[in-house]
Structure 1
Amino acid sequence: MKLVVLAGTQGSGKTSVLLHVIKVLVRDGNKPAVVKVDCLWTDDDQRFDRLNIPVRVGLARDMCPDHFTIYNTEEMLKWAEAEGADVLLNETAGLCLRCAPYPDKCLAICVIDVTTGPNTPLKVGPLLTTADIVVMTKGDIVSQAEREVFRERVLDVNPDCMVVEANGLTGKGASEIAELIEAGMNVCDNIVLRHTPPLAICSLCTGETRIARKHHMGVLRQMDGFTEYRGE
């Protein structure tokens, strides 16, 4: 089975692009399954259902959606295998620009919106910098010059990635992405993350609501960048 993790910023068009990619995969004789991870609510499973493929939803709720995805990757793979799939497409919310959801034995796809500004790629961490494919969306509503500047910014932070321009409305770029998925590696045992996830061990994460620094423990970073661990 092939594992594809598709992440990206909110509103970048991840689901719309993925729907077109699935149509191409099915047309080519593949058997994809989708796990959509979101935070509080989603009805995207209804959109995937129309394609007559196995779909499952995971809601991270008060947990980071990418941490949630990482913890549940093994279960997702077992589910997809039981459904007879040969490609597991995992779309994760990607709310934090510091998220790092990609295992090493997968095809990592980052979807990013060109209209967010030419310097946006410089503000995105491992979500973008460790991706195999960076999909630029909404390029039809900016100029050619703006698209080229955006592309160069992407390559500045991730020179080894393949950049694909896609359109979630027309399906542009879907065939190219599907070909890259079909040519990708199969997942195997003992997969590990490509990059460490964001720090998420502090008293705020466990429910502390008081603001003063004296009330907090765990991994803490101050305004000057100094990082410390306070606790047992």
Structure 2
Amino acid sequence: MLVVKDFHKSYGNKEIVKGISFEVNDGEIFGFIGHNGAGKTTTIKSIVGILDFESGEILIDGKSIKKNPIDCKKILAYIPDNPDLYEHLTGIKYLNFICDLYDVPSDVRLTRIKELSSELELEQNLGDSISSYSHGMKQKLALISAFVHNPKLLVLDEPFVGLDPKAAFTLKKRMRKMCDEGCSIFFSSHVLEVVEKLCDKVAILKDGVIMLQGDTEEIISKNSLEEIFLGIEK
């Protein structure tokens, strides 16, 4: 579903990401971890078509994000680490706007919005202005907007930030359910325990280079992901 080949990205004369490669297969959850400034968000923004890049290739469902950006974006959903929402809208108007963008039929969107908002306990607040939402409520709305058009690829940057424990548990269940139904998920997180338990594969990025990647079970066969990560960071 997602293929990144020899990806390089620089800002001016400074190379931030130095030729990384990895693949996310259909139905997989792939964890992307690293310290602040390692290049995670830069990589993510390039994958979803926000940032251009110097060399390498990023393919989504076999199509280049450079050459076919619209086709790629139609089948993916992206949530940044600090989602920007249209705060003058109500929650339900925002979700309908997203559904309009992705051509989600009226009957389908009603069912999905009801299911997702109930699951994340936001149903009673959809009629309120987004400007009145807490940070956690905004995060929940952003998640619903990402799920509602049933993407084939879900790209998340620190999705658990701002969520209470119950909402975080619900999100983990939803992520696994979506992958069981064929979706692929690529996400970054500093919560290594969650990455260890949730991800099928993981990659550790340091200073723009992937230091370790592979099946999570194999990587943590002798040490926890936290111990491995801290050992790489020394």
| TM-score above 0.5 | no
Q: Of the two structures, which has the highest relative contact order with CA contacts closer than 8 Å and spacing of 6 or more?
A: 2
- Larger Rg computed on CA atoms: 1
Q: Give TM-score, length-normalised by structure 2.
A: 0.31
Name the one with the larger strand percent: 2
